[in-house]
């Protein structure tokens, strides 16, 4: 059997060295549900700043007033990483935004009586490829990805309380929102177990998640053979320290070849910018079908920028 990394076509020497550096130096945090692992309590000053104002107290920030009319905000959480990355060259720039919404909060009466209903979510991710190297700065392609999924609570599988096992399954739609010859769309059902290992002393964690997909309703005209380039299996591995460097890698296998992506992030607050609440983000990609428009083409890219959610 040929190892997966040997199936990726040779990269340029510079990009290959960068990718190797990303793989060797990275380390990453945990995947899991919101209830998986308790985080440290924020300082009292932070809690006071974001708490809803009490009756008779002044509204120091507009967000305080806004939250009074948004009792369901606690159901809204980050989902996939959100970032803005400059490509090298600039024509390969990319950004992504993502969120998920839980339909039944665990503190609501129904979820307290039947905790399993708290796993139903709506997710949305938007990924845009931006040609910043051209005079008009056009968007090369954008993928709109709504989905409905179920994410289980922690399922005990080892005696250690800080390790965990989760299951996510759902239906996912992806479209680039274009018409005519540029139109692309696909749908898939997926099943993804998530294995989490965590050391609370060192705050180092590892998460491994294989995903199996069943693709259906690919556009019969514009992308009938997308499955040959995207594949039906992928493996995500995350490793790192909670407040330190985090490495997230993903491998997809398909009939046309193997695709690979690695993301290394590091909080700027841990380095020169003590008050910055963002991450330095480096991404290396050597993949087929990174976007839908040119799904038959293999793209190799190195990108550098910032992320807000990693």
272 secondary structure, DSSP code: T
Tell me whether residue 95 is in a domain. yes
Q: Which residues of the chain have pLDDT under 70?
A: 1-58, 158-159
One DSSP character per residue, 153-198 reads PP---SS-TT-EEEEEEEEEEEE----GGG--EEEEEEEEEEEEEE
Token pair recorded at residue 274? 């003590």
111 secondary structure, DSSP code: H
pLDDT reported for residue 56: 52
d(CA 304, CA 265): 10
d(CA 279, CA 97): 15
Q: Are 131 and 139 in contact (CB under 8 A)?
A: yes
One DSSP character per residue, 192-243 reads EEEEEEEETTTTEEEEEEEEEEEEE---TTT-TTTHHHH-SEEEEEEEEETT
**Sign for the pseudo-dihedral over CA of 41, 46, 52, 55:** positive
Tell me whether residue 69 is in a domain. no
Tell me whether residue 195 is in a domain. yes
Q: Are 284 and 269 in contact (CB under 8 A)?
A: no
Produce one character per residue of 118-142: b if its CB has 16 or more CB atoms within 10 Å, e if not: bbbbbbebbbbbbbeeeeeeeebbb
Query: How many domains would you assign to the chain?
Result: 1
Q: Which residue has the tokens 């993804």?
A: 192
Query: Could you list the residue range(s) of the whole structural domain that residue 274 is in?
Result: 4-34+75-309
Task: Residue 260: count other Cβ atoms within 10 Å of its Cβ.
Answer: 20
Supply the Cα-derived Rg of the chain in whole angstroms. Answer: 21
Q: Are 295 and 229 in contact (CB under 8 A)?
A: yes
Q: Are 84 and 305 in contact (CB under 8 A)?
A: yes
Tell me whether residue 53 is in a domain. no
Counting runs of H as helices and runs of E as strands, what totals does the chain give?
5, 13
**H-run or E-run covering 14:** helix 13-25
Tell me whether residue 50 is in a domain. no
Token pair recorded at residue 154? 């922690």
Q: Are 269 and 276 in contact (CB under 8 A)?
A: yes
Tell me whether residue 49 is in a domain. no
Q: Are 37 and 31 in contact (CB under 8 A)?
A: no
One DSSP character per residue, 37-80 reads SPPPPPPHHHHHHHSPPPTTS---SHHHHHHHT-TTGGGEEE-S
Q: Which residue has the tokens 């693709």?
A: 215
Task: Residue 60: count other Cβ atoms within 10 Å of its Cβ.
Answer: 11
Task: Residue 180: count other Cβ atoms within 10 Å of its Cβ.
Answer: 7
Tell me whether residue 43 is in a domain. no
Token pair recorded at residue 106? 């665990």
pLDDT reported for residue 71: 86
The domain that contains 300 carries what CATH number? 2.40.230.10
Tell me whether residue 44 is in a domain. no
């Amino acid at each position: 059997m040929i190892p997966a990394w040997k199936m990726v076509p040779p990269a340029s020497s510079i990009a290959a060295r960068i990718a190797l550096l990303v793989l060797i130096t990275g380390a990453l945090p945990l995947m899991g549900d919101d209830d998986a692992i308790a985080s440290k309590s924020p300082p009292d000053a932070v809690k006071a700043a974001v708490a809803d104002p009490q009756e008779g107290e002044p509204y120091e920030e507009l967000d305080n007033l806004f939250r009074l009319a948004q009792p369901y905000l606690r159901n809204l959480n980050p989902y996939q990483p959100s970032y803005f990355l400059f490509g090298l060259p600039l024509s390969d720039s990319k950004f992504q935004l993502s969120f998920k919404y839980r339909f039944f909060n665990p503190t609501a009466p129904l979820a307290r009586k039947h905790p399993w209903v708290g796993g139903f979510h709506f997710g949305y991710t938007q990924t845009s490829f931006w040609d910043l190297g051209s005079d008009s700065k056009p968007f090369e392609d954008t993928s709109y990805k709504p989905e409905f999924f179920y994410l289980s609570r922690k399922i005990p599988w080892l005696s250690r309380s800080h390790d965990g096992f989760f299951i996510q399954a759902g239906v996912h739609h992806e479209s680039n929102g274009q018409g005519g010859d540029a139109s692309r769309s696909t749908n898939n059902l997926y099943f993804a177990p998530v294995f989490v290992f965590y050391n609370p002393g060192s705050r180092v964690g590892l998460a491994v998640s294989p995903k199996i997909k069943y693709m259906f309703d690919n556009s019969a005209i514009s992308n009938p053979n997308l499955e040959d380039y995207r594949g039906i299996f992928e493996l995500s591995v995350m490793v790192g320290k909670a407040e330190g460097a985090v490495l997230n890698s993903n491998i997809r296998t398909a009939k046309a070849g193997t695709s690979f992506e690695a993301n290394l992030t590091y909080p700027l607050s841990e380095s020169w910018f003590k008050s910055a609440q963002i991450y330095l983000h480096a991404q290396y990609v050597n993949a087929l079908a990174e976007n839908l428009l040119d799904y038959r083409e293999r793209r190799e890219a190195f990108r550098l920028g910032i992320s807000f959610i990693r």
